[in-house]
Structure 1
Amino acid sequence: MSNLHNENKHYNKIVLAYSGGLDTSVLIPWLKEHYGNCEVIAVSGNVGQGTELDGLEEKALATGASKLYIEDLTDTFVDDFIVPSIKAGAAYEKYLLGTSFARPIIAKRIVEIAKAEGADAICHGCTGKGNDQVRFELAIKAFAPDMDIIAPWRFWELDSREKEIEYAEAHNIPLKISKETNYSKDKNLWHLSHEGLDLEDPANEAPINTEGFLELGVSPENAPDKPTYITIHFEKGVPTKLDDEELSARDIILKLNEIGGANGIGILDIVENRLVGMKSRGVYETPGGSILYAAHAKLEEITLDKDTQHYKEQAAQKFGELVYDGKWFTPLRKALSAFVDSTQETVTGDVTLKLYKGNIIPAAVTSPYSLYNAGMATFDADDCYDQSDSAGFINLFGLPIKVRALNSDALEKETGESFSSVE
């Protein structure tokens, strides 16, 4: 069973996906009130949200949870979710999937804990309008198809964030936000998203220059007037070095977040098409991720042949759609990852980028597997390319056009009508 809203049903034990934010903070007492004073076990997945985890256990226990699991998922998150997406070049409408590929790994771990605890149901605090409800529940279905899922936002009386805040205040639940600072945010080591309040009207300029809005960096206007140069080394599509220092992919992302953020890199203001059918506006901060995507794409320019490069771009769009739609644990996503891995065998080399006031400017790219041949491409004299060969190539390549034109001439003479135009 799933998507339950029968408040008369009794549960012994519910596992709650818990972030400590507004939605999940009010859910602990709310679940106990509505489901027979059940035991609520909170689970938080550490995917690099940093200080947001501070004091979380004390808060969860104080509001009625029997225990809190804080699971460190950062290395798996980077190696098994972020890196495959970088190699794929996957994005959704320019959005680099920060929330999208964090949800499946958290949901999978929640299912594992729910099974170990003998829980009757899993609860999440996603709204009925958003994408995360789909991402959580598809992952739960993949690993616990018979588990009950409770999604209170679809039916409860707290149908606005203002009512949630009032409920929290009435139940003495501490919050880090107020009605005036009530942006809906999601943070992990890859990105930070902002939604709600004045952002809901696309006519309003995003307040990226307002103090306290951006958290991972500064706006391009406030970035230094001097460019920053960085060099990233990739091995088979995986970032392994930053400025000649060998680092894990996780540490490279964290360092690039600092460097990119300081240069106003990776700020995206977008009205996106949500999975549930509506358009939604959000502002995303993805400084390190934007740099890695740009560097990886630059390296592929010289290491992939034309057919592979062009087809991979099509696969990247589908990969991004699957991740955005919560279909990480599906045969097609797995198959696309296998295809991507096969394309990355020669994606090894160094990419130097110039970062300046929000811009990522390619400066240099080298690879032992480079397909770029300066001798063939040069405008100067060379001894490896016979330019006279191009005449025969063009004759054959243009043969269908020539045949059609000849046929059109014949038809025009016979009918007196013009057939030459293709407009």
Structure 2
Amino acid sequence: MSKRTIVLAFSGGLDTSYALVSLKEQGWEVLTANIDTGGLHSGEADVVRKRAEELGSAGHFVIDAREELYSRVITYAVKANYLRNGGYPSCVGAERLVQAEKVVQAALDHNADAVAHGSTGAGADHVRYDSVIRALAPQMEIVTPIRDERLTREFERDFLLQHGFHTPDKVTTYSINEGLIGTSIGGKETYGSWDYLPEDAWTYTKSIADAPEDGIELILEFVKGEVISATTPDGTPIPGTGGDAKNYAILRSLNTLAAEHGVGRGIHMGSTMVGNLARVGFEAPGMLTLIAAHRELERLVLSNRQQATKAQLGNTYGDLLHEAVYYDPILDDFRAFLDSSQSRVTGAVRIKLIKGNIIPLGSRSPYSLLDAATRQGVVYGYGSSLWSGDQARAFAHMYAIPGAIAKNAGPQEI
């Protein structure tokens, strides 16, 4: 009887390393799929491949999903200015859609009997993976040893050691996931609500103390809500973007550059889709920089009503994506709205990255509402040729009436 085949989403970390050895022991022929959504740097794909082969993978493949992640997920996250609970750019969580889809496709291509992932049952990733597998390959068995066996990271480390495989201490202490959007870091400090991650837990951002004193000024240019260039004030493209046709090159380069200036660190705490409160560290220097610049440009070109409505709908869209509501048609409706909202979000933004701060310095656009008002003689704090002093007095008088009536109706009882 031939072995049954399973495709394991494999990162080379502790959980997926344990899963590979454990599944092999159970009699599976394990194929490993490493999905690159921006976490593989120079030579790292080979390191993960060697780890998979060392642990007994019957076949390993690397799938580049960066372009698709950027076009399908990241561009809309920027258009929505999405930050979970106002601060967290969803980091690796929003990437699971593309990663899971690629793993399922690999399983279908290799006529596998099952799909496996290394998610625990305590977070949200297991729901994300399962949602994609159920939608795209309902006939596939889903195998999740970490979730089903409720294992600790220490147990997994000892298990691998007993089988002759060493695991670095940091990998045991912290669960680290990196992608284009950012890096998430979970460990003992994030299990509670008081402690902050120590310096050696962060992966690539500089501390504010070590960041350059002078900072750096950049100009980001957008067309219809999508960034098309990032330069210094003299027009020099930032390192890694000049001549690169990849549409994610700017974000990738901003991750490196902004990290050097201490930008991007944070700890997010909020409710998960399964109802528990979770806390996780993150590094997202490029994404936070893009969103800050994009939001500043929108303030120049969108009306107040547009901004207010878009903030609500954009946040709802991001929450649905974060919570694995991937295939509900409502997401197409949200994306259509976001695309429409960006028709005038074209222009440039000056920003300064300094000591962990992202400071918008200025913005310009052919669709500037400020310029349009100035051309008609309206200058805030100075004067206007569109109305007279008597008209301004009358407006103020009428505007104050509802509040005056409510105030004089009597005290509110509590």
Match of 1:121 in 2: 114
**8 Å Cα contact 2:175/2:185 also seen in 1:** yes
In 2, the alpha carbon distance for the partners of 1:19 and 1:162 equals 18
Shift of 1:275: 2.0
CA RMSD of aligned residues (A): 2.2
Instruction: Say if 2:98 is the partner of 1:110.
Output: no
Match of 1:65 in 2: 57
Match of 2:220 in 1: 232
Aligned partner (choices 187, 205, 209) of residue 196 of structure 2? 205
* Equivalent residue letter for 1:363: L
Secondary structure of residue in 2 paired with 1:59: helix
Instruction: Say if 2:142 is the partner of 1:152.
Output: no
* Equivalent residue letter for 1:287: P
In 1, the alpha carbon distance for the partners of 2:353 and 2:25 equals 53
Match of 1:170 in 2: 162
Match of 1:47 in 2: 37
Match of 1:5 in 2: none
Shift of 1:194: 1.1
Instruction: Say if 2:2 is the partner of 1:14.
Output: no
Shift of 1:31: 1.2
Match of 2:313 in 1: 315
Q: 5 Å matches for 1:243-392?
A: 243=231, 244=235, 245=237, 248-372=246-370, 373-374=373-374, 375-392=377-394
**8 Å Cα contact 1:97/1:323 also seen in 2:** no
Shift of 1:96: 0.2
**8 Å Cα contact 1:227/1:356 also seen in 2:** yes
In 1, the alpha carbon distance for the partners of 2:172 and 2:111 equals 38
Shift of 1:144: 1.6
Aligned partner (choices 65, 69, 78) of residue 86 of structure 1? 78
User: Once the two structures are superposed, what CA deviation does each residue of 1:230-276 show, in whole Å capped at 9, x if it has no partner?
Assistant: 00000000000111446654111122112211110111123222222
Secondary structure of residue in 2 paired with 1:70: strand
Shift of 1:183: 0.6
**8 Å Cα contact 2:268/2:279 also seen in 1:** yes
**8 Å Cα contact 2:13/2:171 also seen in 1:** no
In 2, the alpha carbon distance for the partners of 1:16 and 1:129 equals 20
Shift of 1:11: 6.7
* Equivalent residue letter for 1:377: V
- Pair 1:313–1:387, CA change in 2 (3 A): farther
Larger radius of gyration: 1
Shift of 1:130: 0.6
In 1, the alpha carbon distance for the partners of 2:392 and 2:154 equals 69
* Equivalent residue letter for 1:84: Y
In 2, the alpha carbon distance for the partners of 1:125 and 1:205 equals 26
In 2, the alpha carbon distance for the partners of 1:172 and 1:103 equals 31
Instruction: Say if 2:176 is the partner of 1:185.
Output: yes
Aligned partner (choices 69, 72, 79) of residue 77 of structure 1? 69
Percent identity between matched residues is 29
In 2, the alpha carbon distance for the partners of 1:421 and 1:271 equals 36
- Pair 1:299–1:159, CA change in 2 (3 A): same
- Pair 1:405–1:107, CA change in 2 (3 A): closer
Equivalent pairs counted in the alignment come to 396
Instruction: Say if 2:36 is the partner of 1:38.
Output: no
Instruction: Say if 2:216 is the partner of 1:214.
Output: no
**8 Å Cα contact 1:165/1:178 also seen in 2:** no
Runs of 4+ aligned residues of structure 1 deviating over 6 Å after TM superposition are none
Secondary structure of residue in 1 paired with 2:63: strand
Instruction: Say if 2:153 is the partner of 1:161.
Output: yes
**TM-score, structure 1 length as denominator?**
0.87
User: Once the two structures are superposed, what CA deviation does each residue of 1:3-46 show, in whole Å capped at 9, x if it has no partner?
Assistant: xxxxxxx9711111111111111112211323xx2211111101
Structure 1 range deviating more: 395-404 or 59-68? 395-404
* Equivalent residue letter for 1:46: D
* Equivalent residue letter for 1:79: S
Shift of 1:402: 5.3
- Pair 1:339–1:399, CA change in 2 (3 A): same
Shift of 1:120: 1.3
Match of 1:3 in 2: none
**8 Å Cα contact 1:216/1:257 also seen in 2:** no
**8 Å Cα contact 1:348/1:368 also seen in 2:** yes
Secondary structure of residue in 1 paired with 2:79: helix
Shift of 1:171: 1.4
In 2, the alpha carbon distance for the partners of 1:103 and 1:23 equals 16
Secondary structure of residue in 2 paired with 1:379: coil
**8 Å Cα contact 1:184/1:196 also seen in 2:** yes
**TM-score, structure 2 length as denominator?**
0.89
Instruction: Say if 2:211 is the partner of 1:223.
Output: yes
In structure 1, stretches of 5+ residues that fail to align are 1-9, 409-418
Structure 1 range deviating more: 97-106 or 143-152? 143-152
Secondary structure of residue in 2 paired with 1:388: helix
